[in-house]
Amino acid sequence: MTEQGATMDAPARTETAKPHLPDAQTVTQVTHWTDRLFSFRVTRPRSLRFRSGEFVMIGLLGDNGKPLLRAYSIASPAWDEELEFYSIKVPDGPLTSKLQHIQPGDEIILRPKPVGTLVHDALLPGKRLWFLATGTGLAPFASLMREPETYEKYDQVIMMHTCREVAELEYGRQLVESLKDDPLIGELVGDKLLYYPTTTREPFHHMGRVTDNLTSGKVFADLGLPPMNREEDRAMVCGSLAFNIDVKKILEDFGLTEGANSDPQQFVVEKAFVGDGI
Ligand code: FAD
Ligand code: A2P
């Protein structure tokens, strides 16, 4: 296993003898955060335009020579000249059992057709924007937290991220930390971004599920905010199907309505992955 947080950068670009994949992009950096999580950056196709928060299909060539693709949220903002992804490593997962071994200079397949519901256009104007995530569901918000529009549209932005263990929060923690001094958007972020990471299975200064911290009112008390309400609060949700279902119910109980690109409302939801048995 690679050391936690260890980053490999691309060597100076050289001609390689590797086969050229369809829609190929070159890996420029890989960082392993835990034995289950890593992030990586790849070159960005010149023609690729996307809205921060959207996802694309990426992958590798399978053993049968055909592309093996999965949906991945773009974790970098729309203005970044490269693309960043934040990934799970599923030990026997068809894609990630291989993808976790990529190194700078390798190629991945990236279909340049971004889509998704976690976009600013799908929400009506509001005062506060809540990003609610578990695990790799942080990825679209890693993009949106670096998006100027986020801070231009809202007075406060609250990032609630819950994982089982402290080490699983590290990618998000470092990203939030880096925003303060970011030459491009640091000033815009100012003190608007409130970060509320929690764990559920390892002691940490804040603990508990996103759902419990919302229903008990603990997060509002801790951050000095009023309970969510339809007039002021907007939310974007990204986690397992079970998480999304439970959060959706809570947001509806606060009076918020689910929206979509074609029908902007008070909150939007996207699955962080499929197949958790529900
Ligand atoms: P799969 O056969 O796809 O999955 C095997 C099993 O692993 C699943 O049944 C599920 O139980 C579990 N699993 C899969 N993905 C995850 C995950 N992310 N977290 C926890 N458990 C998981 N994955 C990312 O890592 N980062 C992303 O940014 C991301 N964005 C996505 C966006 C959308 C809209 C969707 C639908 C999925 C997204 N996924 C993301 C999941 C991704 O598409 C793959 O499922 C994942 O890369 C594993 O692929 P695999 O072929 O190795 O295993
Ligand atoms: P918990 O440890 O109490 O199950 P996982 O690793 O299983 O995908 O979970 C990631 C995080 O999401 C964990 O902290 C887990 O809490 C939490 N979680 C899982 N399911 C839900 C849910 N339905 N509602 C709220 N939080 C959830």
93 lines ligand 1 (CB under 6 A): yes
pLDDT score for 11? 52
Pocket test for ligand 2, best of 164, 248, 249 (most atoms within 8 A of CB): 164
Tell me how far apart the alpha carbons of residues 238 and 141 are, in angstroms, rounded to a whole number: 9
SS3 63: coil
The CATH code belonging to domain 120-271 is: 3.40.50.80
Task: Identify the band that residue 132 occupies on the pLDDT scale cut at 50, 70 and 90.
Answer: very high
Q: Is pLDDT larger for residue 65 or for residue 239?
A: 239
Q: What are phi and psi of 185, to 5 degrees?
A: -125, 5
Residue 15 has pLDDT above 50, yes or no: no
26 lines ligand 2 (CB under 6 A): no
Percent of the chain with pLDDT over 70: 91
Delimiting residues of CATH 2.40.30.10 domain(s) in the chain: 6-115
Task: Identify the band that residue 1 occupies on the pLDDT scale cut at 50, 70 and 90.
Answer: very low
Tell me how far apart the alpha carbons of residues 150 and 120 are, in angstroms, rounded to a whole number: 8
Q: Which pTM value belongs to this model?
A: 0.95
Give the residue, by CA position, lying nearest to ligand 1 atom 25. Answer: 87
pLDDT score for 22? 73
153 lines ligand 2 (CB under 6 A): no
Task: Identify the band that residue 276 occupies on the pLDDT scale cut at 50, 70 and 90.
Answer: low
Task: Identify the band that residue 180 occupies on the pLDDT scale cut at 50, 70 and 90.
Answer: confident
Identify which of 26, 47, 40 has the alpha carbon closest to the alpha carbon of residue 114. Answer: 47
Q: What are phi and psi of 11, to 5 degrees?
A: -70, 170
Q: Which two tokens stand for residue 47?
A: 């023609």
Delimiting residues of CATH 3.40.50.80 domain(s) in the chain: 120-271
Name the CATH code of domain 6-115 (choices 2.40.50.100, 1.10.3720.10, 2.40.30.10, 3.30.230.10). Answer: 2.40.30.10
Q: Which two tokens stand for residue 149?
A: 């529009």
Report the pLDDT averaged over residues 52-67.
Answer: 95
Residue 117 has pLDDT above 70, yes or no: yes
Residue 245 has pLDDT above 90, yes or no: yes
Residue 122 has pLDDT above 60, yes or no: yes
Summary mean pLDDT of the chain: 93
